[in-house]
């Protein structure tokens, strides 16, 4: 991580004290020629790095299959960013290397990824974070459509919001797992900063548009600061930003990138009620992720609609000492039909203890689907 100068090191610089004195690095004067020479070197090295990545991938037994390896990508990014000795923020370097990896992979095969659009929704930002901008990132209008496109094989991957630290589960996503045989093969965790965007002055705003989850994540702020405005739910935050561009009196709760893309002004920034507002996105597709040592596994479970059935099934976790990290219930169609459960827990399906849990669950279940095992990700943002 880039080290920031501390108060004491600044003081040391001023006084030239021995303990704080840094060896001065001779830098070339930033003339136009010097900058051009530096750029030439950077461009040459970035090209060489991309060539190496592509070459290594081509050397794999199945280069196309090797393209999706979030654990390997994460290690590569961590190592590269860890070499930073300057003041550039970690996130800036991460972006650069992420794009080099993405461009190199494109030479092997273009990865088609669907997301809830339009552009600059948070799902789009999560897709850029995982796949880079050289992937073919395709917007669709609903979370259901992301699942449909992946299920029909029109896209190799989809990216869908699954859970938010302030607002909880994203029902549209969880309910789709019960409807289509699509697997989870990764996750992206993004820090979500929400902004109030509009075309005109704040005093003229009469309606605020956004996705229900985004409105809910800043409901206290909106109640305090926009008590007169009507809150209107739309399919995504970036759809809201498009509406705010054209509709008089309309504002949107959306990302900073959506403001830039739609030429809107940020009327109030970071209006999320919880400063640690994190959304977890699932990467869906057919790929099976290798064990990374820090994995989670998700299953869909239906047990008999009778007393003690869920308790009996969950004993599998206690018996095998596995930490259950998340459980959600969904009513099945028909009032008397009971519930379906979404479970998320620590470990990979290839671990011996997890395979015992899965077989125990299967014995107790009316229906059980393994949704997938995936490596845990860092929170970005």
Ligand X SMILES: O=C(O)C(=O)C[C@]1(C(=O)O)C=C[C@@H](O)C=C1
Interface residues with ligand X (CB under 6 A) are: 116, 121-123, 161, 164, 170, 192, 211, 213-214, 236-238, 279
Handedness of CA 67, 133, 257, 241 (dihedral sign): negative
CA 137 to CA 133: how far, in whole Å?
A: 7
Q: How far is the CB of 74 from ligand X (least distance, A)?
A: 21
Number of H helices, E strands in the chain: 14, 16
CA distances 234 to 117, 158, 165, 202, 212, Å, are 12, 21, 21, 21, 7
Q: Compare residues 125 and 368 and give the one whose CB is closer to ligand X.
A: 125
**What separation in angstroms does the CA of 113 have from each of 123, 128, 191?**
11, 10, 21
Annotate 279-307 with b (16+ C-beta within 10 A) or e (fewer): bbbbbbbebebeebeebbbbbbbbbeeee
Minimum distance from residue 341 beta carbon to ligand X (Å): 21
Least distance (Å) between residue 260 CB and ligand X: 15
- The residue among 170 and 268 lying less far from ligand X, judged by its C-beta, is 170
- Residue closer to ligand X, measured from CB, 69 or 167: 167
Shortest distance, CB of residue 146 to ligand X, whole angstroms?
10
Shortest spacing between CB 271 and ligand X, in angstroms: 13
**CA 251 – CA 243 distance, rounded (Å):** 8
Cα–Cα distance, 187 to 120 (Å, whole number): 19
Residue whose CB is less far from ligand X, 237 or 262: 237
Question: In the complex, what is the shortest distance from the CB of residue 221 to ligand X, in angstroms, rounded to a whole number?
Answer: 15
**Is residue 257 a contact partner of residue 125, using CB atoms and an 8 Å limit?**
yes
- Comparing CB distances to ligand X, the nearer of 103 and 192 is 192
The nearer residue to ligand X, 261 or 295, going by C-beta atoms, is 261
The answer to whether the CB of 310 falls within 8 A of the CB of 303 is yes
- Cα 370 from Cα 153, distance rounded (Å): 20
Nearer to ligand X, 256 or 292 (CB): 256
Rounded least distance, CB 121 to ligand X, Å: 3
């Amino acid at each position: 991580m880039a080290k920031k100068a501390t108060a004491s090191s600044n003081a040391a610089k001023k006084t030239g004290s021995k303990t704080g004195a840094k060896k001065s690095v001779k830098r070339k004067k930033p003339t136009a020629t010097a900058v051009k020479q530096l750029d030439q070197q950077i461009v040459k090295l970035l090209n060489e790095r991309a060539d190496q990545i592509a070459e290594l991938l081509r050397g794999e037994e199945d280069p196309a299959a090797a393209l999706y390896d979030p654990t390997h990508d994460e290690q590569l990014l961590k190592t590269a960013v860890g070499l930073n000795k300057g003041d550039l923020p970690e996130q800036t370097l991460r972006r650069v290397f992420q794009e080099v990896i993405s461009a190199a992979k494109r030479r092997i095969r273009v990865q088609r990824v669907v997301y809830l659009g339009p552009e600059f929704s948070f799902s789009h930002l999560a897709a850029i974070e995982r796949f880079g901008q050289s992937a073919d990132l395709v917007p669709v209008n609903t979370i259901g459509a992301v699942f449909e496109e992946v299920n029909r094989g029109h896209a190799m991957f989809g990216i869908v919001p699954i859970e938010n630290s302030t607002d909880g589960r994203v029902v549209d996503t969880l309910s789709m797992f019960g409807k289509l045989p699509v697997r989870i093969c990764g996750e992206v965790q993004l820090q979500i900063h929400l902004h109030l965007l509009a075309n005109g002055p704040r005093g003229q705003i009469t309606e605020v548009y956004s996705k229900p989850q985004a409105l809910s994540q800043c409901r206290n702020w909106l109640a305090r600061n926009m008590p007169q405005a009507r809150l209107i739910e739309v399919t995504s935050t970036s759809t809201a930003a498009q509406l705010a561009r054209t509709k008089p009196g309309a504002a949107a709760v959306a990302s900073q990138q959506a403001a830039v893309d739609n030429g809107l002004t940020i009327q109030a920034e970071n209006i999320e009620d919880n400063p640690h507002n994190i959304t977890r996105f699932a990467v869906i597709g057919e790929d099976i992720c290798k064990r990374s040592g820090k994995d989670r596994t998700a299953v869909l479970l239906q047990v008999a609609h009778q007393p003690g059935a869920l308790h009996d099934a969950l004993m599998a976790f206690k018996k095998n000492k596995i930490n259950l990290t998340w459980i959600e219930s969904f009513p099945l169609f028909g009032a008397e039909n009971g519930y379906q459960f979404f479970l998320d827990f620590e470990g990979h399906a290839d671990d011996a203890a997890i395979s015992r849990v899965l077989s125990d669950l299967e014995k107790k279940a009316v229906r059980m689907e393994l949704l997938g095992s995936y490596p845990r990700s860092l929170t970005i943002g």
